[in-house]
Chains A and B, each alone.
Chain A
């Protein structure tokens, strides 16, 4: 009796797994169909072969390897997304207006247009110049996109792409497509130069640490505190709407240290000569250009731009905006050689 029930239950379980496998296989088939000559026999022979395809796509994604998920470069401009942009005559890019040296507007700018400037902005201009061409002043429109609106703005077509210190992650890959990485960074500690804090280590004991609400930095600190990788006496209760607000709290003495992307921490250090990056980055992250998930032609086209940009352009932009705070040697910031899917 009990054996029969067990058998029935296990059959039921397998039935569920089987159904899911079939569903996955079908989804994967449709998703992969246009990309490559999908072997249709995979669907016929059943679960095994197809589910491996699934893994490679999303579920088995490791954040450390998420940057390897982009599509190979191509200078083909016949795809419908690229063609639509070229026809429109300008590229719409979602950017930040508050990240000093990355994407920001100088309030004292002499120019009437109060242009945006920074490392991200340089890259956006380069992409527009290569894809749209024409007058560099007229081939691009910037839209200020708040951090939590980056993905919705892409999904509902408000912007063609987001160039806004956006880390490539598995979670985001479910909603948007990323270009190959264009910058390497990692979570880092920022503290006053005179502080005893010397990195992401025991020197953070009994210190108050500021992070942005809902940021990867906070998630990491919370997880590390749980697992004991961060001293339990560190106080991570201060969270603010924007990472820059952490520098305000730091200057006012309300917190002792800030944890954020090294690149953004450098942008904060650039605004206050009395604070500095402490220790080495304790994670490795890559910034990528985010685009609509189905805009494959655009992803490939942008990757082609990046191929060229890495050779000429990247270094000049780095020297101009980031060398003063990240160091003259760009080795640790330089993106890895792309590993396309």
Chain B
């Protein structure tokens, strides 16, 4: 204050010389107010400058100082409460989004992805069964298409207009009927016994694998990014609130110490109440956030990460099954550059992906009920690979019928569809478990924050009133 007055005291105010006599500590609360004047500019005396002068004048007397201290304390406590309420309601909203918006949306996007891949698999299974596909495979295909359309509609509602997700959804909405048209043409030609049906199915598959699934994956990744953004804003430390809380408590201690030195009275009830309220808010803030943070992080590491890996595995198994079917549909019509069958070579790639994802899922599974289905799926996958090998050998030896039975035949043939179904069923069990883990941890994380914003605001009002009353009590001694 002493040196700021030198700079800003261009107008000769009577406060300037006297200000030198003011004990330094009395001036401490003033800086926030004093930082304004330079902007006001010296040429004209404003109402603000007059207010500053008045403040300066009042700071020369003890009641004046007390008034300033009281106002500052009340302001600090209220500011602390307000910042706490604001920062924590931000985090609480983010945690709520994780639980009720971004994670369900990410799961919905994953479901669109799954439905599309599953539709493609069901279409090829039905096709392999000949002109008369089974009701089961037709129902499954139709349901998948419906699921995908519903999922896209849901995702469209949740996406921001003009965003990358919205564009991707629009593209998928355009591709879905195109795909369905190709599958219907494939069916019609297959019913007539024309190999052209197989060519249509390969074209439909190409559209799915090269245009639709990558977009569905992009949508899924976008939603996952949104989810992890929500996580980030929920777990980031509320440094402003914590800092302000420490400053408030420090100032309250200083005010009480000053009070003690001036009056020899140990306790000022108002100030003690304000300190107690501030301490409770600060503790609640730190502990509540720490608990929420650890629960949310756990829900991410144990839930979301596992769910993502399991989703990857599920998609890989669906793609593998589709390619296994198409190997028999295409019958060598398409080959890779090295001369292998295109679809069999894709199948091998998908199975490798499945095996990697399953190993990863088993690795990060944190309890036996999460691990069991994953282990079972790994076992199913191994049997699948063996049976697939038998089917390929039969097909390569010219025994198409045996190969067909090995892939879509009845249970006596020990077909690969059994293994595929088991893989999917086990993965779904694991997914359900991890989804549950996520929900439990995320909701207890969110619950740890519930009431904090309102509580902080109420306690801050209480604390501020305490400070004002406490100072007011001292002030009344001067009347």
The residue from B199, B332, B399 contacting A244, defined by CB atoms under 8 A apart: B199
Tell me whether A148 and B199 are in contact (CB under 8 A).
no
**What CA separation (Å) do A148 and B396 show in the bound complex?**
16
Tell me whether A144 and B332 are in contact (CB under 8 A).
yes
Tell me whether B332 and A272 are in contact (CB under 8 A).
no
A107-B190, A146-B335, A248-B200 known; A100 vs B131 contact (CB < 8 Å): no
Answer whether residue B397 sits at the interface, using C-beta atoms and an 8 A cutoff.
Answer: yes
Which of chain B's residues 320-362 have a Cβ closer than 8 Å to chain A? 330-335, 339, 341-342
Contact residues of A: prevailing secondary structure = mixed
**What CA separation (Å) do A31 and B131 show in the bound complex?**
52
Answer whether residue B56 sits at the interface, using C-beta atoms and an 8 A cutoff.
Answer: no
A114-B400, A141-B397, A144-B398 known; A241 vs B331 contact (CB < 8 Å): no
Which of chain A's residues 143-173 have a Cβ closer than 8 Å to chain B? 143-149, 152
Tell me whether B331 and A97 are in contact (CB under 8 A).
yes
**What CA separation (Å) do A142 and B331 show in the bound complex?**
12
Find the B residue at minimum CB distance from A93.
B398
A108-B131, A248-B199 known; A100 vs B335 contact (CB < 8 Å): no
CB distance from A95 to the nearest CB of B (A): 9
Kindly list chain B residues whose C-beta atoms are within 8 Å of the C-beta of A227.
none
Q: Mark A101-121, 1 if CB is under 8 A from B, else 0.
A: 000111111001110000000
Q: Mark A235-253, 1 if CB is under 8 A from B, else 0.
A: 0000001101101100100
The residue from B132, B197, B335, B404 contacting A148, defined by CB atoms under 8 A apart: B335
How many residues of B are in contact with the other chain, CB < 8 A? 35
Tell me whether B199 and A107 are in contact (CB under 8 A).
no
CB distance from B138 to the nearest CB of A (A): 16
A: contact size bracket: 35 or more
**What CA separation (Å) do A28 and B166 show in the bound complex?**
69
Answer whether residue A70 sits at the interface, using C-beta atoms and an 8 A cutoff.
Answer: no
Answer whether residue A303 sits at the interface, using C-beta atoms and an 8 A cutoff.
Answer: no
**What CA separation (Å) do A97 and B404 show in the bound complex?**
14
The residue from B189, B190, B192, B203 contacting A245, defined by CB atoms under 8 A apart: B203
Answer whether residue B177 sits at the interface, using C-beta atoms and an 8 A cutoff.
Answer: no
**What CA separation (Å) do A191 and B195 show in the bound complex?**
19
**What CA separation (Å) do A122 and B200 show in the bound complex?**
27
The residue from A100, A149, A245 contacting B194, defined by CB atoms under 8 A apart: A100
**What CA separation (Å) do A99 and B331 show in the bound complex?**
11
Kindly list chain A residues whose C-beta atoms are within 8 Å of the C-beta of B335.
146-149, 241
**What CA separation (Å) do A141 and B130 show in the bound complex?**
22
Kindly list chain B residues whose C-beta atoms are within 8 Å of the C-beta of A247.
196, 199
Q: Mark A245-277, 1 if CB is under 8 A from B, else 0.
A: 101100100000000000000001001100000
A106-B193, A242-B199, A248-B199 known; A98 vs B331 contact (CB < 8 Å): yes
Tell me whether A105 and B400 are in contact (CB under 8 A).
yes
Tell me whether A108 and B193 are in contact (CB under 8 A).
yes
CB distance from B41 to the nearest CB of A (A): 73
Tell me whether A146 and B398 are in contact (CB under 8 A).
no
Tell me whether B199 and A146 are in contact (CB under 8 A).
no
Q: Mark B171-200, 1 if CB is under 8 A from A, else 0.
A: 000000000000001000111111111111
Answer whether residue B401 sits at the interface, using C-beta atoms and an 8 A cutoff.
Answer: yes
Answer whether residue B395 sits at the interface, using C-beta atoms and an 8 A cutoff.
Answer: yes
Kindly list chain B residues whose C-beta atoms are within 8 Å of the C-beta of A149.
332, 335, 339
Answer whether residue B388 sits at the interface, using C-beta atoms and an 8 A cutoff.
Answer: no
The residue from A141, A241, A248 contacting B398, defined by CB atoms under 8 A apart: A141
Find the B residue at minimum CB distance from A92.
B398
CB distance from B408 to the nearest CB of A (A): 12
The residue from A98, A113, A242 contacting B401, defined by CB atoms under 8 A apart: A113
CB distance from B181 to the nearest CB of A (A): 9
A141-B398, A248-B199 known; A107 vs B193 contact (CB < 8 Å): yes
Q: Mark B263-283, 1 if CB is under 8 A from A, else 0.
A: 000000000000000000000
The residue from B131, B191, B400 contacting A144, defined by CB atoms under 8 A apart: B400
What are 14 contact pairs spanning A and B, CB under 8 A? A97-B331, A98-B195, A108-B131, A108-B193, A141-B399, A144-B395, A146-B341, A152-B339, A242-B199, A244-B195, A244-B199, A245-B202, A245-B333, A271-B194
Known: A142-B398, A144-B332. 15 other contacts (CB 8 A): A98-B198, A98-B331, A98-B333, A100-B195, A107-B131, A143-B397, A144-B398, A146-B332, A146-B341, A148-B335, A148-B339, A241-B334, A242-B334, A251-B185, A268-B196
- 7 closest Cβ pairs, A-B complex: A146-B332, A97-B331, A241-B334, A108-B131, A242-B333, A271-B194, A142-B398
